[in-house]
C-alpha cells in the first residue's frame, strides 16, 4: 500500500496497528477501503465488548496472500473479531486489489491468483506472460537499494 494510505490507516487506528510488522500494509491500494472498513469494525466490536486498552486487538500482519486479504493478530482476539477478519478475506476476492473496482472471478496468472477487474486485467502485462507486471510493492523493496 502506498505510504499516504498507510499513514492514514496508522493514524486512524493507532492501537489496532501498534504492532504491525514494519508499520507496513502488505497489500495494494485497491483494498484500502476494505482495510479501513474492517479496521473500523474491529475497533467498534472491541469497544462494544468492553476491551481495555491493554487487551485491545493488535494486528501483526495485514497482507495479500494467495489473492485474498489476510489479517493476523498478535495474541488472543474474540470470536467476533476473528469472524470480521475472515469476512474481509472473503470480500477481498471480489475487489480488484490494484484499483478497488469489482473483480472478476479469481484469475490464476503465472502461478499467482489475483483478484482483478476487467480494466486491470486488460492492462496487466502479466496476462501477456510477463512475470512481474507492476513494480514491487513498498514492503517488498530492498530498503538498502537506491
Residue 3 has pLDDT above 80, yes or no: yes
Average pLDDT over residues 67-80: 95
Residue 123 — very low, low, confident or very high, per pLDDT cuts 50/70/90?
confident
Given a cut of 90, is residue 122 above it in pLDDT?
Answer: no
Asked if pLDDT for residue 47 goes beyond 60, the answer is yes
The answer to whether 115 and 1 are in contact (CB under 8 A) is: no
pLDDT for the residue numbered 142 = 58
In angstroms, the Cα distances linking 42 to 16, 66, 136 are 8, 23, 29
- Strand runs (DSSP E) across 66-122, as ranges? 68-74, 107-109, 112-114
Report pLDDT for 23. Answer: 85
**Angstrom distance (rounded) from CA 106 to CA 115:** 5
Q: How confident is the model at residue 136 (pLDDT cuts 50, 70, 90)?
A: low
Check pLDDT > 80 for residue 132. Answer: no
Cα–Cα distance list, 89 to 41, 62, 63, 116, 129 (Å): 14, 11, 10, 15, 27
Q: Domain segments of the chain: what residues?
A: 3-140
**Pairing relationship of beta strands 112-114 and 107-109 according to DSSP bridges:** antiparallel
| Cβ neighbours around 64 below 10 Å, total | 21
Amino acid at each position: 500500500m502506498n505510504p499516504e494510505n498507510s499513514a492514514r490507516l496508522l493514524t486512524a487506528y493507532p492501537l489496532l496497528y501498534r504492532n504491525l510488522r514494519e508499520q507496513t500494509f502488505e497489500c495494494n491500494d485497491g483494498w484500502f477501503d476494505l482495510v479501513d472498513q474492517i479496521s473500523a469494525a474491529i475497533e467498534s466490536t472491541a469497544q462494544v465488548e468492553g476491551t481495555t486498552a491493554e487487551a485491545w486487538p493488535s494486528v501483526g500482519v495485514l497482507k495479500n496472500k494467495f489473492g485474498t486479504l489476510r489479517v493476523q493478530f498478535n495474541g488472543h482476539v474474540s470470536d467476533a473479531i476473528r469472524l470480521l477478519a475472515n469476512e474481509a478475506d472473503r470480500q477481498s476476492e471480489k475487489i480488484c486489489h490494484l484499483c478497488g473496482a469489482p473483480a472478476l472471478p479469481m484469475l490464476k496468472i503465472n502461478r499467482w491468483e489475483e483478484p482483478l477487474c476487467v480494466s486491470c486485467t486488460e492492462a496487466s502485462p502479466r496476462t501477456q506472460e510477463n512475470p512481474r507486471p507492476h513494480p514491487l510493492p513498498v514492503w517488498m523493496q530492498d530498503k538498502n537499494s537506491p
